[in-house]
Chain A
Amino acid sequence: MDNRTILSRFAAAAFAGASFFATTAAFAGEVTIWCWDPNFNVAIMKEAGERYTAKHPETTFNIVDFAKADVEQKLQTALSSGTTDALPDIVLIEDYGAQKYLQSFPGAFAEMSGTVDYSGFAPYKVQLMTVDGKVYGMPFDSGVTGFYYRKDYLEQAGFKPADVQDITWDRFIEIGKQVEEKTGKKMMGLDITDAGFTRILMQSAGQWYFDAEGNLSIENNTALKAALETQQKILQAGVYKPSSGWSDWVGSFTSGDVATVTTGVWITGTVKAQADQSGKWGVAPIPSLGIEGATHASNLGGSSWYVLESSAEKAEAIAFLNETYAKDIDFYQKILTERGAVGSLLAARTGEAYMKADEFFGGETVWQNFSDWLSKVPPVNYGIFTNEVDTAVTAHLPSLAQGANIDEVLKQIQSQAEGQIQ
């Protein structure tokens, strides 16, 4: 065997080895997207991609699904290491975390203010992706809140649907007492180890854990104070069914044990899954805190799409998002019908699916209502440490049940939050 055959054999082996490991080579015109939930975000993005490819056949999509925490981990690692070629073209980020990424990695995400007409979206969704007047994302699903109530239970207690429209939480408790007296049912399921309800109440009055400048705002936060007071009243009045954990909480209303649910619109699918309760439910605006700035609209959860500045397909990615998510009304009808997704584009309400009356809710046009509330959700600054402050709030919720002084609780939350942020 001469040297040449050895060399060529070696080369062949090396080549085989290389091709064995070589996997994806991005070619021009492929937009890579990272997101979570195969049945929701992935499926919706596939639909959007198909619509775009139908018009622009040269563009294809590679949608990669990872768990939500995994997407965050990967994004964080790639951005911190500056290995930008390891990033996708588009990534899904949860709204509460958006400011953290935008402010921690300035220049990493593509500004879209010039291209996208943001006036068509719910203002609070645009606010959360704005830094120094520049807007960086494409608003996606909304967690606009609704007050889902059992008409049959309320009726037994002597209330008509009109009696729960635009009420305050104090009135809610009064109604709750009568509902329990007449039907034996509790008014709501409440998990005091979860700060979700607190967040709904606080945002409904236009405030957050942070003020407009991003400074921690706990002790002098009138909305947070009212939110905690309201929960304390609910706890003391005993009109709630205690739940531990998500599935237990969901079980509180699917089983018919409670008369109302106040949460994000994404729960609609779960409510409607109980076919035997069809016609028994109604949806009203959520009760208000009754303080200055209080409204009947709020939000829980939601996420949005961001284009990476380093992306080779940046222009294409922005054009794609703009054409589908900012303009395609029909697309929003399809994702609402098939996936139960409520987007943030206000004009979506003019479509067929949004106009439809829902027999489950006694023939109400619930999507028109949600669309109304969507436009009214008060914009707040989610800041960069929402999750950290959430932990501090959650730690102090149980003390409300023991009648703790709210001002004291706020002080403790403030100091714990300060400790966690620094």
Chain B
Amino acid sequence: MTQIATPSPRVRRLLPETATYITLSIAAFVSVFPFLWMLISSTNTSIDIIKGKTSFGAAFSTNVVNFFTQVDVPLVFWNSAKVSILTTLLTIAVSSLAGYGFEMFRSKMRDRLYALVLLTLMVPFAALMIPLFMMMGRAGLINTHIGILLPTIASAFIIFYFRQSTKAFPTELRDAAKVDGLKEWQIFLYIYVPVMRSTFAAAFVIIFMTSWNNYLWPLIVLQSNETKTITLVVSSLASAYYPDFGVVMIGTILATLPTLLVFFIMQRQFVAGMLGSVK
């Protein structure tokens, strides 16, 4: 008579763990692979990339030199950085105040107004593009960086995010501050901002990334080589009849680096911010 082997408790504990690790490894591979592919490709010639070469090559320095001769790198990065940083700071300033206001001040119209703000999330940008472009044209803001950032700084999503986070902000703090004679702007600046700093940090990461990677609107607004941002430059490189994919990869890596840096530097605050500033 054969005995049916029952797994030892150790094996029984290990099995689900192994399964978890395998699943996670596959998921990690899927998300990391494009970056790995990008890195590998940046070291190969265009022809090798088309052939699907999967090992590192020796063309990295050639690709870098070609990229730097074809693209005015400092100018393009300055343009992108200028737009992204200004957009981020202005969006945070406007939208955090709006989120704070929506939560703190009670009025009859508050929730209707708020619903209206949220409703704008449902309108796709493509539908707004032409009217916005006409407005920018009349205002003389075409081909300017301020034309890119103006329509984005009152972000319904960021307002929503700040209002949701503000719900956790203890009203007692505000009441106490009022008793101590602080004005509303002082409460916002000296109490709300420090308490909510991880919310601010998370907002910074989200807005910076969106703005840095923004493509369609800058494409419509910008008209000259001198104002172009990195996303437009990479797109232009990649659309040649015979694109030099090695150069395109260098462009893609350089375009990805700032968002990666911002994310890694602020990762801890970002995660904390997504979980809520006030425990």
A and B co-occur in one complex: yes
> Does chain B have a CB within 8 A of A155?
no
* Cβ-defined partner of A21 (8 Å) among B146, B236, B238: B146
> Does chain A have a CB within 8 A of B241?
yes
Closest 9 CB pairs of A and B: A67-B239, A83-B137, A37-B240, A247-B50, A67-B235, A21-B146, A81-B134, A81-B130, A24-B224
Q: Which residues of A contact B223 (CB under 8 A)?
A: 24, 32, 64, 74, 86, 88
> Does chain A have a CB within 8 A of B237?
yes
A-B contact pairs, 8 of them (CB 8 A): A37-B239, A67-B236, A67-B239, A70-B219, A73-B219, A81-B130, A81-B131, A251-B50
CB distance from B146 to the nearest CB of A (A): 5
Q: Tell which of B216, B223, B232 has the most Cβ of chain A within 10 Å.
A: B223
A80 touches B130 (CB 8 A): yes
B145 touches A21 (CB 8 A): yes
B133 touches A69 (CB 8 A): no
Extra contacts besides A21-B144, A73-B216 (15): CB < 8 Å: A21-B145, A23-B143, A23-B226, A24-B227, A32-B224, A38-B237, A39-B241, A67-B236, A67-B238, A70-B239, A77-B130, A81-B134, A81-B137, A83-B133, A86-B223
A81 touches B133 (CB 8 A): yes
Q: Which residues of B contact A78 (CB under 8 A)?
A: 133
In the complex, which residues 70-93 of chain B have their Cβ closer than 8 Å to any Cβ of chain A?
Answer: 70
> Does chain A have a CB within 8 A of B108?
no
CB distance from B25 to the nearest CB of A (A): 30
In the complex, which residues 187-245 of chain B have their Cβ closer than 8 Å to any Cβ of chain A?
Answer: 216, 219-220, 223-227, 232, 235-242
* Cβ-defined partner of B142 (8 Å) among A32, A85, A266: A85
> Does chain A have a CB within 8 A of B65?
no
Considering only CB atoms and an 8 Å cut-off, how many residues of chain A contact the other chain? 36
> Does chain A have a CB within 8 A of B12?
no
B240 touches A38 (CB 8 A): yes
> Does chain A have a CB within 8 A of B10?
no
Q: Which residues of A contact B134 (CB under 8 A)?
A: 81-83
- A21 CA to B216 CA, complexed, in Å: 20
In the complex, which residues 278-326 of chain A have their Cβ closer than 8 Å to any Cβ of chain B?
Answer: none
> Does chain B have a CB within 8 A of A130?
no
Chain B residue with minimal CB distance to A301?
B241
A24 touches B239 (CB 8 A): no
A371-382 vs B, CB cutoff 8 Å, 1 = contact: the mask equals: 000000000000
A66-B241 in contact given A74-B220, A81-B137 (Cβ < 8 Å): no
CB distance from B226 to the nearest CB of A (A): 6
Q: Which residues of A contact B137 (CB under 8 A)?
A: 81, 83, 85-86
CB distance from A334 to the nearest CB of B (A): 18
CB distance from B167 to the nearest CB of A (A): 36
B48-61 vs A, CB cutoff 8 Å, 1 = contact: the mask equals: 00110000000000
Q: Which residues of B contact A70 (CB under 8 A)?
A: 219, 232, 235-236, 239
Chain B binding surface, main DSSP class: helix
CB distance from B216 to the nearest CB of A (A): 8
- A255 CA to B63 CA, complexed, in Å: 24
> Does chain B have a CB within 8 A of A50?
no
Q: Which residues of A contact B146 (CB under 8 A)?
A: 21
> Does chain B have a CB within 8 A of A65?
yes
For this complex, into which size category does the number of interface residues on chain B fall? Answer: 20 to 34
B144-155 vs A, CB cutoff 8 Å, 1 = contact: the mask equals: 111000000000
Q: Which residues of B contact A36 (CB under 8 A)?
A: 236, 239-240
- A39 CA to B239 CA, complexed, in Å: 11
A39 touches B240 (CB 8 A): yes
CB distance from A160 to the nearest CB of B (A): 33
A11-54 vs B, CB cutoff 8 Å, 1 = contact: the mask equals: 00000000001111000000010001111100000000000000
A23-B224 in contact given A82-B134, A247-B50 (Cβ < 8 Å): yes
CB distance from A45 to the nearest CB of B (A): 13
Q: Which residues of B contact A88 (CB under 8 A)?
A: 223
> Does chain B have a CB within 8 A of A193?
no
- A86 CA to B147 CA, complexed, in Å: 13
* Cβ-defined partner of A65 (8 Å) among B142, B220, B225: B225
CB distance from B220 to the nearest CB of A (A): 5
* Cβ-defined partner of B144 (8 Å) among A23, A37, A40, A247: A23
Q: Which residues of A contact B15 (CB under 8 A)?
A: none
- A24 CA to B226 CA, complexed, in Å: 8
In the complex, which residues 53-110 of chain A have their Cβ closer than 8 Å to any Cβ of chain B?
Answer: 62-70, 73-74, 77-78, 80-83, 85-86, 88
Q: Which residues of B contact A40 (CB under 8 A)?
A: 240-241
> Does chain A have a CB within 8 A of B129?
yes
Q: Which residues of A contact B235 (CB under 8 A)?
A: 66-67, 70
Q: Which residues of B contact A38 (CB under 8 A)?
A: 70, 236-237, 240
Chain A residue with minimal CB distance to B216?
A73
CB distance from A44 to the nearest CB of B (A): 12
Chain A residue with minimal CB distance to B144?
A21
Q: Which residues of A contact B225 (CB under 8 A)?
A: 62-65
- A177 CA to B143 CA, complexed, in Å: 59
Q: Which residues of A contact B216 (CB under 8 A)?
A: 73
A68 touches B133 (CB 8 A): no
- A48 CA to B100 CA, complexed, in Å: 58
B224 touches A62 (CB 8 A): yes
Chain B residue with minimal CB distance to A269?
B242
- A247 CA to B134 CA, complexed, in Å: 41
CB distance from B76 to the nearest CB of A (A): 13
- A39 CA to B248 CA, complexed, in Å: 14
Chain A residue with minimal CB distance to B233?
A65
A66-B240 in contact given A23-B144, A24-B143, A24-B226 (Cβ < 8 Å): no
Q: Which residues of A contact B145 (CB under 8 A)?
A: 21, 23
Q: Which residues of A contact B236 (CB under 8 A)?
A: 36, 38, 65-67, 70
